Amino acid sequence: MVGMHQTDSGYQRYTNEWEGFGGSEFRPFASGIPGLNGSPAFLFLASQKSPIRDGVASIIGHGVATRFPRLRFAPVEFGTEWVRPLVGHMQEVYERSPEIFEEDPMTIFKRNIFVHAFQEPDPAGLAALIGVDNVMFGSDFPHMEGLADPLSYSEVVEKSMSPADTAKVMGGNLARIMRV
Protein backbone atom coordinates (compact mmCIF):
# COMPACT_ATOMS: atom_id res chain seq x y z
CA MET A 1 0.00 0.00 0.00
CA VAL A 2 1.21 3.49 -0.88
CA GLY A 3 -0.05 6.33 1.29
CA MET A 4 0.00 9.63 -0.56
CA HIS A 5 -0.02 12.60 1.80
CA GLN A 6 -0.69 16.18 0.78
CA THR A 7 2.45 18.26 0.72
CA ASP A 8 4.09 21.05 -1.24
CA SER A 9 3.65 19.81 -4.78
CA GLY A 10 5.62 22.61 -6.38
CA TYR A 11 2.44 24.01 -7.97
CA GLN A 12 2.61 26.98 -5.60
CA ARG A 13 5.24 28.54 -7.86
CA TYR A 14 2.56 29.19 -10.48
CA THR A 15 0.24 31.09 -8.16
CA ASN A 16 3.26 32.92 -6.74
CA GLU A 17 3.99 34.23 -10.24
CA TRP A 18 0.44 35.52 -10.67
CA GLU A 19 0.58 37.06 -7.21
CA GLY A 20 3.81 38.90 -8.04
CA PHE A 21 5.94 37.10 -5.46
CA GLY A 22 9.60 36.53 -6.26
CA GLY A 23 9.84 38.91 -9.20
CA SER A 24 8.34 41.92 -10.85
CA GLU A 25 6.81 40.57 -14.04
CA PHE A 26 3.30 40.08 -12.63
CA ARG A 27 3.39 42.88 -10.01
CA PRO A 28 0.52 44.77 -11.74
CA PHE A 29 -1.76 41.89 -10.75
CA ALA A 30 -0.83 42.03 -7.05
CA SER A 31 -3.37 43.18 -4.50
CA GLY A 32 -3.59 46.93 -3.97
CA ILE A 33 -4.75 46.45 -0.39
CA PRO A 34 -2.06 47.66 2.05
CA GLY A 35 -0.75 44.88 4.29
CA LEU A 36 -2.39 42.11 2.25
CA ASN A 37 0.08 39.68 0.76
CA GLY A 38 -1.55 38.26 -2.29
CA SER A 39 -5.20 38.11 -3.19
CA PRO A 40 -7.51 35.66 -1.44
CA ALA A 41 -10.06 36.28 -4.21
CA PHE A 42 -7.52 35.24 -6.85
CA LEU A 43 -6.59 32.09 -4.96
CA PHE A 44 -10.24 31.05 -4.70
CA LEU A 45 -10.93 31.82 -8.36
CA ALA A 46 -7.70 30.53 -9.90
CA SER A 47 -7.36 27.30 -11.83
CA GLN A 48 -8.12 24.21 -9.85
CA LYS A 49 -4.81 22.58 -10.73
CA SER A 50 -4.73 19.48 -8.60
CA PRO A 51 -1.56 17.62 -7.70
CA ILE A 52 -3.54 14.59 -6.51
CA ARG A 53 -5.61 14.49 -9.68
CA ASP A 54 -2.39 14.64 -11.69
CA GLY A 55 -0.80 12.02 -9.43
CA VAL A 56 -3.66 9.56 -9.88
CA ALA A 57 -3.75 10.33 -13.61
CA SER A 58 -0.05 9.42 -13.70
CA ILE A 59 -0.57 6.17 -11.78
CA ILE A 60 -3.27 5.16 -14.26
CA GLY A 61 -2.01 6.82 -17.45
CA HIS A 62 1.60 5.69 -17.13
CA GLY A 63 0.49 2.12 -16.43
CA VAL A 64 1.91 1.79 -12.90
CA ALA A 65 -1.29 0.24 -11.55
CA THR A 66 -1.56 -2.04 -14.58
CA ARG A 67 1.99 -3.31 -14.10
CA PHE A 68 1.43 -3.69 -10.35
CA PRO A 69 -2.26 -4.58 -10.02
CA ARG A 70 -1.99 -5.57 -6.34
CA LEU A 71 -0.51 -2.20 -5.33
CA ARG A 72 -2.98 0.00 -3.45
CA PHE A 73 -2.83 3.80 -3.42
CA ALA A 74 -4.46 5.77 -0.62
CA PRO A 75 -4.30 9.53 -1.13
CA VAL A 76 -5.07 11.20 2.19
CA GLU A 77 -5.88 14.79 3.17
CA PHE A 78 -6.70 15.83 -0.38
CA GLY A 79 -10.44 15.87 0.12
CA THR A 80 -12.63 14.37 -2.58
CA GLU A 81 -13.27 17.37 -4.84
CA TRP A 82 -10.86 15.94 -7.40
CA VAL A 83 -12.55 12.53 -7.72
CA ARG A 84 -15.70 13.35 -9.70
CA PRO A 85 -13.97 15.55 -12.32
CA LEU A 86 -11.17 13.00 -12.81
CA VAL A 87 -13.57 10.07 -13.09
CA GLY A 88 -15.73 11.97 -15.58
CA HIS A 89 -12.69 12.91 -17.63
CA MET A 90 -11.30 9.36 -17.56
CA GLN A 91 -14.61 7.95 -18.76
CA GLU A 92 -14.84 10.56 -21.53
CA VAL A 93 -11.30 9.95 -22.77
CA TYR A 94 -11.65 6.16 -22.57
CA GLU A 95 -14.92 6.27 -24.52
CA ARG A 96 -13.31 8.42 -27.20
CA SER A 97 -9.89 6.66 -27.36
CA PRO A 98 -9.87 3.27 -25.61
CA GLU A 99 -6.83 2.18 -27.64
CA ILE A 100 -4.52 4.50 -25.68
CA PHE A 101 -5.15 2.53 -22.47
CA GLU A 102 -4.00 -0.95 -21.55
CA GLU A 103 -7.26 -1.41 -19.65
CA ASP A 104 -10.32 0.64 -18.70
CA PRO A 105 -9.14 3.41 -16.34
CA MET A 106 -12.24 2.96 -14.15
CA THR A 107 -11.34 -0.69 -13.68
CA ILE A 108 -7.90 0.45 -12.55
CA PHE A 109 -9.31 3.15 -10.27
CA LYS A 110 -11.69 0.72 -8.57
CA ARG A 111 -8.93 -1.86 -8.14
CA ASN A 112 -6.07 0.38 -7.00
CA ILE A 113 -7.24 3.77 -5.69
CA PHE A 114 -8.77 4.21 -2.24
CA VAL A 115 -10.18 7.64 -1.45
CA HIS A 116 -9.86 9.26 1.96
CA ALA A 117 -13.27 10.82 2.54
CA PHE A 118 -13.52 13.28 5.35
CA GLN A 119 -15.86 16.20 5.18
CA GLU A 120 -17.33 14.62 2.02
CA PRO A 121 -20.96 15.80 2.07
CA ASP A 122 -22.26 12.94 -0.11
CA PRO A 123 -20.47 9.73 0.85
CA ALA A 124 -23.19 7.58 -0.74
CA GLY A 125 -22.80 9.43 -4.04
CA LEU A 126 -19.04 9.02 -3.90
CA ALA A 127 -19.47 5.31 -3.13
CA ALA A 128 -21.91 4.93 -6.03
CA LEU A 129 -19.33 6.47 -8.36
CA ILE A 130 -16.17 4.60 -7.34
CA GLY A 131 -17.51 1.71 -5.27
CA VAL A 132 -18.08 1.60 -1.53
CA ASP A 133 -15.00 -0.62 -1.17
CA ASN A 134 -12.85 2.33 -2.30
CA VAL A 135 -14.08 4.91 0.22
CA MET A 136 -12.28 5.26 3.56
CA PHE A 137 -12.88 7.54 6.50
CA GLY A 138 -9.99 9.52 7.85
CA SER A 139 -9.34 12.67 9.79
CA ASP A 140 -6.57 15.17 10.14
CA PHE A 141 -7.62 16.22 13.63
CA PRO A 142 -6.36 18.41 15.26
CA HIS A 143 -5.17 20.22 12.12
CA MET A 144 -7.44 23.02 10.95
CA GLU A 145 -8.79 21.05 7.99
CA GLY A 146 -9.69 18.10 10.22
CA LEU A 147 -13.00 17.61 11.93
CA ALA A 148 -13.27 18.85 15.53
CA ASP A 149 -15.02 15.57 16.40
CA PRO A 150 -13.75 13.09 13.79
CA LEU A 151 -16.04 10.23 14.74
CA SER A 152 -19.09 12.45 14.22
CA TYR A 153 -18.56 11.86 10.49
CA SER A 154 -20.11 8.43 11.03
CA GLU A 155 -23.45 10.22 11.46
CA VAL A 156 -23.12 11.70 7.94
CA VAL A 157 -22.31 8.27 6.53
CA GLU A 158 -25.10 6.51 8.46
CA LYS A 159 -27.73 8.88 7.07
CA SER A 160 -27.21 7.70 3.51
CA MET A 161 -25.63 4.26 3.71
CA SER A 162 -26.50 0.86 5.07
CA PRO A 163 -24.91 -0.31 8.33
CA ALA A 164 -22.70 -2.73 6.38
CA ASP A 165 -21.48 0.03 4.04
CA THR A 166 -21.04 2.43 6.97
CA ALA A 167 -18.81 -0.17 8.65
CA LYS A 168 -16.73 -0.45 5.47
CA VAL A 169 -16.25 3.31 5.14
CA MET A 170 -15.60 3.95 8.83
CA GLY A 171 -12.79 1.41 9.14
CA GLY A 172 -13.42 -1.86 7.37
CA ASN A 173 -11.96 -0.82 4.02
CA LEU A 174 -8.78 0.55 5.55
CA ALA A 175 -8.33 -2.59 7.65
CA ARG A 176 -8.87 -4.76 4.57
CA ILE A 177 -6.37 -3.00 2.32
CA MET A 178 -3.80 -2.81 5.12
CA ARG A 179 -4.46 -6.47 5.93
CA VAL A 180 -4.99 -5.87 9.65
Q: Are residues 26 and 108 in the same domain?
A: no
CATH of the domain at 55: 3.20.20.140
pLDDT per position as a tens digit, 13-36:
777 777 777 655 555 555 555 555
Q: Are residues 173 and 116 in the same domain?
A: yes
Q: Are residues 34 and 80 in the same domain?
A: no
Q: Are residues 34 and 93 in the same domain?
A: no
Res 64: pLDDT: 96
Res 155: pLDDT: 87
Whether the full predicted model's pTM is greater than 0.85, yes or no, is no
Range of the domain at 154: 2-6+48-178
| More confident call, 123 vs 78 | 123
Secondary structure (DSSP) of the chain: -EEEE----STHHHHHHHHTTTSSTTGGGS--STT--S-HHHHHHS----HHHHHHHHHHHTTHHHHSTT--EEEESS-STTHHHHHHHHHHHHHH-GGGSSS-HHHHHHHHB-EEESS-S-HHHHHHHH-GGGEEE---TTSTTS-SSGGGHHHHHHHHS-HHHHHIIIIIHHHHHHT-
Q: Are residues 33 and 88 in the same domain?
A: no
The arithmetic mean of pLDDT across residues 72-94, rounded, is 92
Q: Are residues 36 and 64 in the same domain?
A: no
Q: Are residues 28 and 100 in the same domain?
A: no
The arithmetic mean of pLDDT across residues 159-174, rounded, is 95
Q: Are residues 108 and 57 in the same domain?
A: yes
| More confident call, 69 vs 44 | 69
The arithmetic mean of pLDDT across residues 158-180, rounded, is 94
